Structure 1
């Protein structure tokens, strides 16, 4: 495997970014997120009351970004490398003093910058609407929310770049992107449901716990720690858990919120919400490493 040339990576990333800025992609994404934030602010401001807070607003927006950001990231990464392989322009690019690893990293950085700046512009402009309809947003919470949303998008972008690097056509790459979306929004939920059924059927043992709800004690069997960990691997769940760490969101369903009653010996570190940051980082690093290793050996 060739070494990384920082100058080459920067050149590829800069060209990729400039090409995107000249297209509808950059401005379309910025407009999309501005509309999402603006509509959420308007809805919260119009239907809310004096107690409505920035956290309530972010709770509403986060429900949308959890679904939309992966779609945008997968769209951005779809043709990143597969498109150039299909057209043959990748050979022209590699005829210049660029290695294959430089191409993967450059494409990733260029498109990550497009995604990040699009989100940033949309949310910053949307903050004006928030200030008018509600009140000036809490800067720390708002900045934390934006940062986590960008990290979430970059994680999905890493998956998209990896898939694009191992496919020869945009058709196959597009099918792979659709498969990723189905995996995390359909199959993963079915997997968690299946684990619950298998536990109930006695294929593996759960953990007997007692929990107090509304003053009444309830005894039931929960999934073992490893089963709960499977749930948190989903990038969307990791994103939600990470938001709960920075106290940026007040909305039901965010954060694992495991009760101490379920873990008499304490919640394992890998089930604590702070660990979700590491899960998102893994979704960034591992697919990128796979893309580099695979693309370095493919026959163009």
Structure 2
């Protein structure tokens, strides 16, 4: 059977053949091998130990710093700030060589000579790398839960598990971005530059956008929204917030969306955490794009869209 009509596409074909199909068994085989390679290299166990150490250390430190008022929800709110930085770094590093490394070494041609289509390889690599990250998070979080139980004044198992699930979704979003970019680059050098660019964009540039827009508003270049609030002295004061469109841009960042979903866990605990936005600034209620459910949709967007683009383009690139 020729490569053009087989499950894998011709390595020299630049897009004249029809798009490859998806075989779930083939995807599972690629994902299984990818995961087994990580286990054999001790990557999986190293990440599990790292997440356990991180969570246990944070629980111990926060318990020492705030022994009386540390609750499950407040612990989650603080840990999510650390996770906002750590999870993207690990996901981008895991996805860096997923496909670009295979293309650079030439082993992608051998993989595609087997009954695997390009879509099978892409999805299998994504699932395999996600399994490494997700299961290491699961093991690390569950073992560290013993330390968290003793650290907080009132432990909520449902809220803790929900936070773990949301952290896995956040990791999947960055893994989708990483593997998708890896499939569109010819070398690990180009893939590494792309990963660095993604991290700089979301963690440095995007986090500076709100500050920059605030400065522009103060200098009169952007018209803000005025509202009345109460200060610490109990006095009514007039202040200004950024317009809705500026807040929407800020919330598109997956890290900000991840942190905003913390409010989803409040209903799972007797403890409550309020929104990070001043409700007085929104007398008619928070806009839909600032609500926790929309933040979850943003994370899903960063999972689906990069993957959809990669599935389309990877079928047509010259390998």
Q: TM-score, normalised by structure 2?
A: 0.87
Q: Which residue of 2 aligns with 1:260?
A: 279
TM-superposed deviation, 1:39: 0.8
What is the alpha-carbon distance in structure 2 between the residues aligned to residue 81 and residue 127 of structure 1? 35
CA contact (8 A) 1:130 1:136 kept: no
Q: Deviations over 1:163-187 (max 9, x none)?
A: 1111111111111111111111211
Three-state SS of the structure 1 residue aligned to 2:229 is: strand
Using a 3 Å threshold, how does the CA distance of structure 1 residues 99 and 31 change in structure 2: closer, same or farther? same
| 1:219 maps to which of 238, 241, 244 | 238
CA contact (8 A) 2:156 2:269 kept: no
Q: Which residue of 1 aligns with 2:116?
A: 98
Q: Which residue of 1 aligns with 2:102?
A: 84
Three-state SS of the structure 1 residue aligned to 2:238 is: strand
What is the alpha-carbon distance in structure 2 between the residues aligned to residue 249 and residue 189 of structure 1? 30
Q: Which residue of 1 aligns with 2:158?
A: 140
Moved more, 263-272 or 129-138: 129-138
Moved more, 127-136 or 158-167: 127-136
CA contact (8 A) 1:255 1:273 kept: no
TM-superposed deviation, 1:224: 1.4
Q: Which residue of 2 aligns with 1:284?
A: 303
| 1:186 maps to which of 204, 214, 225 | 204
TM-superposed deviation, 1:93: 0.7
Q: Which residue of 2 aligns with 1:246?
A: 265
CA contact (8 A) 1:73 1:160 kept: yes
TM-superposed deviation, 1:204: 4.1
Using a 3 Å threshold, how does the CA distance of structure 1 residues 94 and 65 change in structure 2: closer, same or farther? same
Of structures 1 and 2, the larger Rg is shown by: 2
CA contact (8 A) 1:241 1:255 kept: no
What is the alpha-carbon distance in structure 2 between the residues aligned to residue 244 and residue 102 of structure 1? 37
CA contact (8 A) 1:240 1:255 kept: no
1:293 aligns with 2:312: yes
Q: TM-score, normalised by structure 1?
A: 0.92
TM-superposed deviation, 1:60: 3.4
- How many equivalent pairs are there? 298
CA contact (8 A) 1:81 1:161 kept: yes
Q: Deviations over 1:244-269 (max 9, x none)?
A: 2212799xxx8753333322333221
Structure 1 residues 13-32: aligned runs within 5 Å: 13-32=31-50
Moved more, 96-105 or 276-285: 96-105
Using a 3 Å threshold, how does the CA distance of structure 1 residues 204 and 62 change in structure 2: closer, same or farther? closer
Q: Which residue of 2 aligns with 1:12?
A: 30
Three-state SS of the structure 1 residue aligned to 2:292 is: coil
Unaligned runs of 5+ in 1: none
TM-superposed deviation, 1:188: 0.9
Moved more, 116-125 or 213-222: 213-222
Q: Which residue of 2 aligns with 1:38?
A: 56
Using a 3 Å threshold, how does the CA distance of structure 1 residues 263 and 25 change in structure 2: closer, same or farther? same
What is the alpha-carbon distance in structure 1 between the residues aligned to residue 157 and residue 285 of structure 2? 33
Q: Which residue of 1 aligns with 2:291?
A: 272
What is the alpha-carbon distance in structure 2 between the residues aligned to residue 284 and residue 255 of structure 1? 27
TM-superposed deviation, 1:193: 2.4
Q: Which residue of 2 aligns with 1:166?
A: 184
TM-superposed deviation, 1:42: 2.0
Moved more, 108-117 or 203-212: 203-212
Task: Indicate the RMSD between aligned Cα atoms, in angstroms.
Answer: 2.2
